[in-house]
Structure 1
Amino acid sequence: MTAPGLRPAGDRRSLPVPDGLDGMRLDQAVSRLFGLSRTAAATLVEAGDALVDGIPRPKSDKVSAGAWLEVTLPAPVTAPAVVAEPVHGLRIVYDDDDIVVVDKPVGVAAHPSPGWTGPTVVGGLAAMGQRVATSGAAERQGVVHRLDVGTTGLMVVAKSEQAYSVLKRAFKEREVDKRYHAVVQGHLDPLRGTIDAPIDRHPSADYKFAVMSGGKPSVTHYDTLEAFRAASLVDVKLETGRTHQIRVHFAALRHPCVGDLTYGADPTLAARLRLERQWLHARELAFLHPRTYDEVRFVSDYPADLEQALDALRDAS
């Protein structure tokens, strides 16, 4: 029983501040240690739920290695359950007992998540009568990789437990060939190259990511396929698979994906091309089949909105 005036303990964690976080802001240290967003970590600190050597501190205070950190974590947010719901435009490219490869339309999430009420790939597959692997969290069973809601193209979902295990490892070990096509603003210099820059959550905007020292290693290879007056069509190969990686890397070069207003794209150009999302498409996907270990390769055509934007760029050039 909790004494009057005292809060329940909740999920309380206690540990010394690691050497690698010495001199870091308290809210940033809490974010790094417990996988919280910077906003969530700052809210927690401001509520007095993060003590340094037994004393509440302001979120901007710097922590010292070895100081004792006590944090009461918020209750986890439960993801919504999968709802079998037909998804307009979701197309099955390949299907067997182990995998199903889909061409994902714009406006569709890979799986349910807190705050998302729109259609999902797993919900669309359930509506088609597809049974997927039971491995993984309940709301994303069978999902071995994801695409942004605003990104179209190819996704593979595991149907058997063996496929889930093999494909998860293949993505982790960077053995899957993921090719994207993107239209970025301006002309890249050099025309072909590699972007090797760590990515982490944006320091002031939870919904965005950014190139940040101390972020997760992130590597993007690109090759210019076609140059227009105001933009370039590039082939992109991902070596790593961070959230928003392509969008963040090209924005960091000051060549954001055309139409990607979240990452600084020109709204005038987007309006002229009638684009309501980033010009980014998961064009090609190749991997070893999880049962036969033969290579399988799939290619997706551009959807109508990206095709018409590309035609407009060509006409203007």
Structure 2
Amino acid sequence: MHDGEKGRLDKVLAQLLQDHSRSQLQKWIAKGLVKVNGKEVADKYKVQPGDQISVTPAKPHKISLDPENIPLDIVYEDDDLLVVNKPQGMVVHPAPGHPDHTLVNALLYHCPLSTINGEFRPGIVHRIDKDTSGLLMVAKNDQAHRSLASQLKAKTTKREYVALVHGVIKTDHGTIDAPLGRSKRDRKKQAIVTDGRHAVTHFQVLKRYRHYTLVSCHLETGRTHQIRVHMASIGHPLAGDPLYGPRKTLPGNGQYLHARLLGFKHPRTGKEMLFTAPLPDWFQKMLDHLNATDSVE
């Protein structure tokens, strides 16, 4: 029902239905889900006083979790857990915008998983970002899941990443201790916020180039985007990072970040397990390129 606004239909609807974005409303208009005086109209239709507007919202797309036959790089597997080397570009579990083709879809095709983390995150004890490659532990049963999760909480797991960052870091090593939470300015981003969750990253310089530095990062905590935000906060954002990096950066499909080492105690035997995964080809090729073109020597 219209109550006096004038102007383009999509603009008027955006004022009346503030929970929905204008682009979403434009899609509804294009699909014929919005009628004015009982008729379908274009989004640029000029609303007149007295017009009757009816909106039939689109039904949300239901995510169903289906096993998918996607190849996996399994580094280790037994009856309780797997360690997977995730490729860059693969999302870990289904979420809005990524309903399928995730690591979880691939894992479900391969084996049963724990049920603790809910319907869409079976087996997933911790995550790495879509464009971060490397090692991830996955629980096959609830007992293993509880053990691995408690080790993460107690900070007894070992997790080391390799990152290529902008600029030359002068010190050989350092620690960034800064709380992280959702950015107040951009909901897609994490940021350092005073009331955020405790987050600590230790870094060590592996190699300096003229314009970049290769570092290893050891995580004490595993917050969303932790390394990406922490390194950016000290003036050394990750190369290739579309969210926290500079506009002019190295080509590629996202941040140059690889989870190369993962260590934990086996949930059943208590044995110390340690796994490493070499840098993927796309990362190594960039380092070879920098060795040839941006070398300090």
TM range (shorter): 0.7 to 0.9
Please report the RMSD computed on the Cα atoms of aligned residues, expressed in angstroms.
1.7
* 1:299 CA displacement: 0.4
Question: For residues 11-37 of structure 1, what are the alpha-carbon distances to aligned partners after superposition, in whole Å with 9 as ceiling and x for unaligned?
Answer: xxxxxxxxxxxxxxxxxxxxxxxxxxx
Trace 1:47-196 onto structure 2 (pairs within 5 A): 80-88=63-71, 90-128=72-110, 130-196=111-177
CA deviation string 1:239-265 (max 9, x = no partner): 011000000001111100011121033
2:147 partner SS = helix
Q: Is the 8 A contact 1:256 1:263 kept in 2?
A: yes
- Quote the Cα distance in structure 2 between the aligned partners of 1:79 and 1:169: 32
Structure 1 partner of 2:52: none
Q: Under a length normalisation based on structure 2, what TM-score does the superposition of the two structures give?
A: 0.76
**Gaps (5+ residues) in structure 2?**
1-17, 20-59
In structure 1, how many angstroms separate the alpha carbons of the residues matched to 2:272 and 2:62? 34
Instruction: Report the Cα offset of residue 157 of structure 1.
Output: 0.5
Query: 3-state SS of the aligned residue for 1:168?
Result: helix
SS of equivalent residue, structure 1 residue 242: coil
Give the match for residue 47 of structure 1. none
1:166 Cα deviation from its structure 2 partner: 0.4
1:88-127 deviation digits (Å, cap 9, x = unpaired):
5x31110000001100011111111122135211111122
Q: Structure 1 residues 199, 315: closer, same or farther in 2, change over 3 A? A: same
Distance 2:145 2:62 in 1: 21
Q: Is the 8 A contact 2:133 2:259 kept in 1?
A: yes
- 1:105 and 1:210, CA in 2 relative to 1: closer, same or farther beyond 3 A? same
Instruction: Give the residue type in structure 2 aligned to 1:80.
Output: I
User: 1:292: Cα distance to partner?
Assistant: 0.6
- Structure 2 counterpart of 1:124, one-letter code: A
Aligned pairs (5 A) from 1:284-303: 284-303=261-280
Q: CA deviation at 1:80?
A: 2.4
Give the deviation of 1:266 after TM superposition: 4.5
- Contact preservation (8 Å) 1:154, 1:282: yes
Please state how far the C-alpha of 1:214 moved relative to its aligned partner: 1.3
What SS does structure 1 have at the residue aligned with 2:148?
A: helix
SS of equivalent to 2:137: strand
Separation in 2 of the partners of 1:298 and 1:116?
28
**Count, aligned residues:** 237
Find the counterpart in structure 2 of residue 307 from structure 1: 284
Distance 1:315 1:229, change over 3 A: same
Aligned to 2:193: 212
1:223 aligns with 204
CA contact (8 A) 1:99 1:157 kept: yes
- 1:81 counterpart letter in structure 2: S
Larger Rg: 2
Give, in whole Å, the separation in 1 of the partners of 2:217 and 2:62: 32
Report percent identity of matched pairs: 40
Secondary structure at the counterpart of residue 140 of structure 1: coil
Q: Which amino acid aligns with 1:99?
A: L
Segments of structure 1 that go 5 or more residues without pairing to the other structure are 1-42, 45-76
Q: Which residue of structure 1 aligns with residue 250 of structure 2?
A: 270
Q: TM-score, normalised by structure 1?
A: 0.72
Distance in 2 separating the partners of 1:207 and 1:114: 13
Q: Is contact 1:136-1:143 (8 Å) kept?
A: yes
